[in-house]
Amino acid sequence: MTPAERRAKMRELAEWVQWLRTTFELHNQIPQCWYRHPPVREHLTALYAGWVRTYCQPAPGRDLAEAEWLSTLHGFLPRLQVASCANGTHHEAPPRPAPRPEADEEFEDYLTASEFGTADSAHPAEAEALRQATDI
């Protein structure tokens, strides 16, 4: 998206988030500064996209689509909270640690040398799969 498109989409999302906070009385779960917290912003974007598909398009074809969306909303609530901003004052998240320069190499070493990366694949229920194959 261009910067102008991104700003327009964020305004659309902000309007919906305000509706969400009011309609579902989520003032204590979703901080006013939600847009300053990338993980919260991403979760709200996903909820919004699901809400649009559920409520704004022709019948989704699932009998309980609306109830499923509401269940998803409630499942997301812990991810929408920012404890440091719960009192209504925004606090920046602590800085993320810098990636270690050797991390990529260590990961590749793990993939090529560990049992995870070198062992033959095995079915998690191999004995049951063999039993069913012999029954046929």
Instruction: Tell me the per-residue pLDDT of 46-101, one tens digit each, with 9 for 90 and over.
Output: 999 999 999 887 765 667 889 999 999 999 999 999 988 888 889 988 888 898 98
What distance in Å separates the CA atoms of residue 134 and residue 100, rounded to the nearest whole number? 51
The runs of H, that is alpha helices, within 2-125 are 3-23, 38-55, 65-80, 103-113, 115-118
3-state secondary structure at position 95: coil
What is the arithmetic mean of pLDDT over 27-49? Answer: 95
Question: Percent of the chain having pLDDT more than 90?
Answer: 52
Write down the residue that tokens 């974007």 correspond to: 45
pTM recorded for the entire structure: 0.72
Question: Percent of the chain having pLDDT more than 70?
Answer: 96
When comparing pLDDT for 108 and 15, which is higher?
15
pLDDT in the model for residue 127: 76
pLDDT in the model for residue 71: 95
Tokens of 35: 């847009």
pLDDT of 38 higher than 90: yes
Taking the chain, what is the end-to-end CA distance rounded to the nearest angstrom? Answer: 55
